[in-house]
Structure 1
Amino acid sequence: MTPRPVAPAARRLTPLFLALALAGCASTHGLDTQVRPTDADSLAASATLSSAGRVSALSRDWWTAFGDPQLDALVQEALAGQPSLAAADARVRQAVAQAGLADAARKPTVGVTAQYSGILIPDSVAPEPLGGEYSGIVLLGLNIKYSPDFWGGQRARYEAAIGQVRAAEVEAQAARLTLASNIVRAYVGLAQAHDALDVASAEKARSQRLLGLGRQRVKAGIDNQMSVRNAESLVGAADQQAAAAQQQIDAAKHAIAALLGEGPDRADTIARPKLLTAPEPGLPSVIPSELLGHRPDVVASRWRAEAASRGIAAAKAEFYPTVNLSALVGIAAGGLDKLFSSDALVAQGGPAISLPIFDGGRLRNNLARTNADYDLAVAAYNGNLVTGLREVADALDAARGLDRQIAAVRRAREAAQSAFSLANTRYKAGLSTQLDVLAAQRPLLQLDQQIAALRAQRLLAVVDLDQALGGGLELTAPTSDSTSESATAAR
């Protein structure tokens, strides 16, 4: 029996089938990620956070709770034009452009070709009529190229780029939150330095009065030079404290000016802060996962992990065949007079299929690298999650602890104030001397200085808590469905 001849189409498809059969040579077997995202609700924090007060939502302009219009104006000025924010915004635009490139790779490209080429074949190469004649060709054509995304690799690259855009946008918001927090911290330092200068000035006045009394007692012959020297040392110490406080004032003003993006002369226009109020610490009435969903570092790291998971999908798609479609449609002729005739039409096109078989381990190593990138991104997210909860808990504990300390010191100051008042009363009644009054005044000033330092720490605890809560920002994080899909892609 005579065998049937193989059809031409079957002969053309035979190499394709053979290539598909060999596709197993480039395999993803044994490559997987090692780290999984932590569920925020699995981190036990309810007992620690339950004792805090509840607020409906943290204001995005959280610094206005301190009650100083000058502070409000400084923060708004900084947010309007600080150079570091321009850099953060530029990184966002850079990520957007990169996403645009990834999106463009998914679409067909069309280009116009206009070409003229000529050749002169010498007689020594070819006899007449080819040899010795110059021939030219004019070509006008339309190039069309397209790579169908059968395996979703191009879409995965685009989604990974979008994830990087989202992360850059969140990090730009984080830069604004950090800038506002630094402005408030420097402003609190400025207020504390002014309070320290007040205490140092009062201590200097007390020491000068003590020095005057000592000199009078020496002149009257009822005391020796030791009391005078002691008083002079107290005056010198008060001068040193005043100079240090003034230096802190100048440094805080210069820091604020730099945060505003201005020169040091801007510091001269910053007035003394008003008496800042420290709000009671409170948390939004949400579970920890939603609480941390407003933190820029947590949300940005989630987007980084999401982008890395899509990178894994793109790397896996490279193990499958790729198809490139190309076509050229145009007109060609040996001269311009025949270029637009019906016989000048030229067309070329068709699919090109490529399949990795042996590549020296490039694809497997690329997938291993993207798996490691995902593990790093997830590890960063898990770390930020734990750090975020710790910072919230630390800020709450600091605020509550400082409130107790301030209350204790104020009770001590009330006792010192009573002792000082009693000394004044006894002095006016002739039952004690001015030395007794000045001695009773010293612990009062020391307690005033301690209260000022504790109040500054309490204000900074408010800043820490507001920043730990995300500064009232409303951020868009990957959805749970998206996270699930990312985990599936990673596996």
Structure 2
Amino acid sequence: MRSISLLVTALVLAGCTSLAPDYQRPAAPVPAAWPGASAAADGALAEPLAWQQFFTDARLRTLIGLALQHNRDLGVAALNIERARALHRIERADRLPSFDAGLSSSLQRTPAGLAPSGRAETIRRHDAAIGISSYELDFFGRVRSLDDAALQQFLATEEARRSAQISLVAEVASAWLELAADRERQRLARETLDNQRSAHTLIRHRVESGVASQIDLRRAQTTVDSARADLARFTTRVAQHQNALALLVGAPLSAELLPESLAPVAAQDTLPAGVPSQLLQRRPDIRAAEHRLMAANAHIGAARAAFFPSVTLTASGGVASRALGELFQGGAGAWAFVPQIVLPIFDGGRRRAALDVAQVDRDIAIAHYEAAIQRAFRDVADALAQRGTMGEQLDAQQSLVAATADAFRLSDIRFRQGAQGYLEVLDAQREMVTARQALIGVQLARLTNQVTLYRTLGGGWA
């Protein structure tokens, strides 16, 4: 009982000490406010919205759900979590003694020249025992530090999966909007081609009537060919963006799930950005970087513990006999207790180098953590800067579209009345088409900005 009490006491004391440095979160290397932030941007961070609440289009929500089920990259991220969880269980298991049961038999012959009796001897031995094999008493926290490091790596992997999920949701939404915009451009190109063909027919009739010249007919033909090329180009882009969306979803796309036109997909036109420090509580990539920093901090504790003596226990108890039939009879009890203390004396600087590596790894992890915060700050600041001028860009572009459309209408009237040549009509039409294409781009940027801001603020990953 006294031996058992000593063993229990040793197990309790083992692992109570850690030589890892006290962890302190590094200060965020970013300003306390967004550049040129408004009062709304500096207010409280909005409550996190799940993507099912943020995105309003039922078809888009269906595609996002399919992507979360079938996307291969996200599947790899989930498998990485399972792997990290298993590695943590391995490290945690080292903090407890491992009990094994064994049954063995041996037969040994000693020649007469070596036997004490001067006669050849054959020795049989049968053993059945339960014991502990090389259990380390973690007086200096080496095993505990390795366990803590494995736990932090597991948590970092889990945060990395959440970050991958947020990115996937945003990528699917952005690809959806890109496809919708290209369909709008394709529709505009088809409309322009129809108009150009109609104008070409009109001019051909006027040439045949002697009212217009062959130059006007050739100019009309160039506009038809240009419109045909634009239609082919946007048809290709529609197919390419549809393929990109299918790759993100990881499954074939049905036609009813594809967007018909460019339209709002988000529940909120604007999102309060809060203050930069609140990103530490929201962005999973920053939390993952901090967990990796904490793992590196724990590895320093393990490296420091290697400088101190290690104490291991090997113990077994059971029965032994020469004959198998006598194995479990009275008086066959056997036990062994082998404590071992190893004191490091000289290793050529190996332990010192290992500690230096652990400390440098911690410094690298700090740099990665600070860089993650700075990248997050830039992501949000860029999205806020774009949002700040998006309304003005949209108003200006809409006004430009209206002006160029009116100019084209008036120019076409003057041409039909014979007051001007067809070249002025072509210029006015080209400006109108260019303005309408640019308007589609501005509308796409405005909608994509909502998705980007939602992602950069660590939008709901549930």
What TM-score, normalized by structure 2, do the two folds share?
A: 0.86
Measured in 2, the distance between the counterparts of 1:228 and 1:372 equals 74
Compute the displacement of 1:467 (Å): 1.4
Q: Which residue of 2 aligns with 1:303?
A: 291
Out of 25, 37, 40, the residue aligned to residue 49 of structure 1 is 37
Compute the displacement of 1:224 (Å): 1.8
Q: Which residue of 1 aligns with 2:112?
A: 123
Q: Which residue of 2 aligns with 1:272?
A: 259
Task: Confirm or deny that 1:101 pairs with 2:85.
Answer: no
Identity of aligned residues (%): 29
Matches within 5 A, 1:250-261: 250-261=239-250
What's the secondary structure of 1:320's corresponding residue?
coil
Measured in 1, the distance between the counterparts of 2:258 and 2:421 equals 36
User: Structure 1 counterpart of 2:301, which letter?
Assistant: A
Q: Which residue of 2 aligns with 1:402?
A: 390
Distance 1:256 1:179, change over 3 A: same
Measured in 2, the distance between the counterparts of 1:418 and 1:463 equals 34
Q: Which residue of 2 aligns with 1:61?
A: 51
What's the secondary structure of 1:86's corresponding residue?
helix
Compute the displacement of 1:351 (Å): 2.1
Compute the displacement of 1:433 (Å): 8.4
Deviations 1:359-381 (A, max 9, x none): 11111111111112111111111
User: Structure 2 counterpart of 1:290, which letter?
Assistant: Q
Out of 342, 346, 350, the residue aligned to residue 362 of structure 1 is 350
Compute the displacement of 1:63 (Å): 7.8
Q: Which residue of 2 aligns with 1:208?
A: 197
Q: Which runs of 5 or more structure 1 residues have no equivalent in the other structure? A: 1-27, 475-491
Compute the displacement of 1:51 (Å): 4.8
Distance 1:405 1:46, change over 3 A: closer
User: Structure 1 counterpart of 2:51, which letter?
Assistant: D
Q: Which residue of 2 aligns with 1:20?
A: none
Q: Which residue of 1 aligns with 2:61?
A: 72
Compute the displacement of 1:275 (Å): 3.6
Out of 437, 443, 460, the residue aligned to residue 455 of structure 1 is 443
Q: Which residue of 2 aligns with 1:464?
A: 452
Deviations 1:353-401 (A, max 9, x none): 1111111111111111111211111111110101110110001112223
What's the secondary structure of 2:242's corresponding residue?
helix
Whether contact under 8 Å (1:36, 1:378) holds in the other structure is no
Compute the displacement of 1:466 (Å): 1.5
Whether contact under 8 Å (2:308, 2:343) holds in the other structure is yes
Q: Which residue of 2 aligns with 1:323?
A: 311
Task: Confirm or deny that 1:336 pairs with 2:324.
Answer: yes
Compute the displacement of 1:292 (Å): 3.7
Measured in 1, the distance between the counterparts of 2:263 and 2:223 equals 31
Task: Confirm or deny that 1:164 pairs with 2:153.
Answer: yes
Measured in 1, the distance between the counterparts of 2:294 and 2:97 equals 27
Measured in 1, the distance between the counterparts of 2:414 and 2:113 equals 131
Whether contact under 8 Å (1:294, 1:473) holds in the other structure is no
Out of 179, 193, 196, the residue aligned to residue 168 of structure 2 is 179
Whether contact under 8 Å (2:60, 2:257) holds in the other structure is no
Measured in 2, the distance between the counterparts of 1:219 and 1:426 equals 20
Whether contact under 8 Å (1:68, 1:273) holds in the other structure is no
User: Structure 1 counterpart of 2:460, which letter?
Assistant: G
Measured in 2, the distance between the counterparts of 1:238 and 1:98 equals 60
Whether contact under 8 Å (1:426, 1:432) holds in the other structure is yes
Compute the displacement of 1:419 (Å): 3.8
Compute the displacement of 1:57 (Å): 2.2
Would you say how many aligned residue pairs link Structure 1 and Structure 2?
A: 438
Q: Which runs of 5 or more structure 2 residues have no equivalent in the other structure? A: 1-18
Compute the displacement of 1:226 (Å): 0.8
Distance 1:240 1:425, change over 3 A: closer
Measured in 1, the distance between the counterparts of 2:397 and 2:244 equals 30
Measured in 2, the distance between the counterparts of 1:439 and 1:43 equals 49
Measured in 2, the distance between the counterparts of 1:425 and 1:227 equals 16
Q: CA RMSD in A?
A: 2.9
Deviations 1:255-278 (A, max 9, x none): 111111125xx3655433344227
Deviations 1:170-193 (A, max 9, x none): 111112112112111211111111
Matches within 5 A, 1:234-249: 234-249=223-238
User: Structure 2 counterpart of 1:348, which letter?
Assistant: A
Distance 1:95 1:401, change over 3 A: same
What's the secondary structure of 2:250's corresponding residue?
coil
Out of 353, 358, 380, the residue aligned to residue 341 of structure 2 is 353
Whether contact under 8 Å (2:131, 2:315) holds in the other structure is yes
Matches within 5 A, 1:75-86: 75-86=64-75
Compute the displacement of 1:248 (Å): 0.8
**Structure 1 stretch 373-382 or stretch 436-445: which is displaced more?**
436-445
Compute the displacement of 1:431 (Å): 9.1
